[in-house]
Amino acid sequence: MIPRYSRPDMVAIWSPETKFRIWYEIEAHACDAMADLGVIPRENAEAVWKAKDVEFDVARIDEIEAVTKHDVIAFLTHLAEHVGSDEARFVHQGMTSSDVLDTCFNVQLVRTADILIDDMKKLLDALKRRALEHKMTVRIGRSHGIHAEPTTMGLTFARFYAEMDRNLNRLEKARYEIATGAISGAVGTFANIDPAVEEHVCAKLGLEPEPISTQVIPRDRHAAFFAALGVVASSIENIAVEIRHMQRTEVLEGAEFFSMGQKGSSAMPHKKNPVLTENLTGLARMVRSAVIPAMENVALWHERDISHSSVERMIGPDATITLDFALARLTGVIDKMLIFPETMLENMNKFPGLVMSQRVLLALTQAGVSREDAYTYVQRNALKVWEHRTDFKEELLADPDVMSALSAEEIEEKFDLGYHTKHVDTIFRRVFGES
C-alpha cells in the first residue's frame, strides 16, 4: 500500500525484515523441538540461535533468490551464512516451504488483527462519546432521502456504535480463525517430521496447530478473515456516506472538521468538501476488493498449488494496511465532527409540522375513522404543505373531516416532539448497557 494510506506499525508487520525474522523463529523453534525428540543433535539446534540478533540482509536474500528462483531456499542459504554450513545442516529437516510460508503468514495476520481490534475499540469509544453528547439532539430521520419522522443525532451515533461493536466481534472471530500454524511436511502427513514439532512451534508463536493441513493451511480460514475485513470496510463506508450527506450544503446538519489553512478547492475558495469521508468510501472499496480473490483461493489443486500465493502477497498487506488507516481516519472524523443542532431543527421544520402525519393518521383511526378515510384526510392536507409550504397543523385545524373526529387540543398534542424521543433511554440501554 502506498505511504499516503499507511501507518507505520501495520506496515512494519509486512516488511521483508519482519517476514524473515518470523521465518527464522519458525526454523529455530522447529530445531529445538527436533533436538528434544533426539532427531537432531542439541548443539546444532543451539547453533541456529547464534543468529537471534542478526538483521537479515534482504538484498543478499534477493541476490540468492535471483539464482535459486526459490525464496525459502534463498533464506535458508543466507541463514547458513550466519550460522555456518555444517551447523545449519539440520535446519528445515522434514519441513516443506509451506510450513514456513503459511505459518508466517498467519502470524502476520494475527498481528494485524490485534492492531485492527485496538483500532476498533478506539472508534467505539469515539462513537459512544458522541452518542451520549447528542443523545437528545433532535434531527429528522429520512427514508429514501425524504423527511420521515424525528429521531436524534445520539441514536445515529448509537446505531453506528452497535454496528461497529458487531464488527469488533467479527474481527475477534477472524483472529481466532486465522491463528493456526502447520509444520506437517510434504502433503501434510507428518511422514518426515513429528507432530510434536508443530505443537512446539505453534506454542512459541501463539498459534494453535492446524488440525489437518494438506501441505498448506486450508484457505477457507483466510477467506473468512478477509471477508470480515470487507464487512468492516462496508460499515466504515456506511458511516462515511451519512456524514457526507449531512455535510451537503442543502442539509448541513454535521460536517468534518475544517482545519486552519485547509483549502477545499483550487478554483472556489468558499468550498468545504467532505474529503476525508469521501476518501473513506474509496478505501472501503479497496479493502472489499480483497474479498473475492480470498474466496477464490479456497479451491487449490489436490494437496497444494501456489495459485493463492501471488494473491496473498498483495491482499495481505494492502487490505490490512488500508483498513488500519481507514479505521484511524474515521475515529478522527468522529472525534472532531461538527454538529449543528439549530440546522437540524430548521430542516425538520422546512415543511412545518409535516413529519407528524403518522401521529395524526393513528389518532384518526383510534377515533373511529376508517384507515382509508384517515389516510385520505391526512394526505390531502400534507400535499398542501408540500406544494404551498403552509403549516400542517393549521391545515388540519381547517379541515372539517379531521375536526369532526379530533378536537383542537388533540391535534395540538400530536405535534409534541417528546413523543418521538420517549424511548431513547431504552435504546441506549440496549446498545450501551446503561442509561
Q: Give the three cell numbers for residue 31.
A: 530445531
Q: How far apart are the first and last CA of the chain?
A: 42
DSSP-derived letter for residue 351 is: S
- 120 closest CA partner among 241, 239, 294, 205: 239
3-class DSSP state for residue 245?
Answer: helix
From 239, 169, 154, 171, select the one nearest 426 (Cα to Cα): 154
From 144, 266, 270, 302, active-site residue: 144
User: 244-270 in b/e burial notation, b at 16+ Cβ within 10 A?
Assistant: bbbbeeebbbbbbebeeeeeeeeeeee
For the record, the C-alpha cell of 353 comes out as 409540522
CB 75 within 8 A of CB 20: yes
Out of 29, 70, 82, 265, the active site residue is 265
Report the alpha-carbon distance of residue 203 to residue 100 in Å, rounded: 15
Q: 265 catalytic, yes or no?
A: yes
SS3 call for 209: strand
Active site residue 78: no
Helix pair angle (16-36, 97-133), 10° resolution: 120
Q: How far, in Å, CA of 425 to CA of 124, rounded?
A: 19
Close Cβ partners of 160 (under 8 Å, ≥ 6 residues apart): 127, 235, 238, 239, 242
Are 215 and 304 spatial neighbours (Cβ–Cβ below 8 Å)?
Answer: yes
d(CA 1, CA 14): 10
Catalytic residue ranges: 144, 265
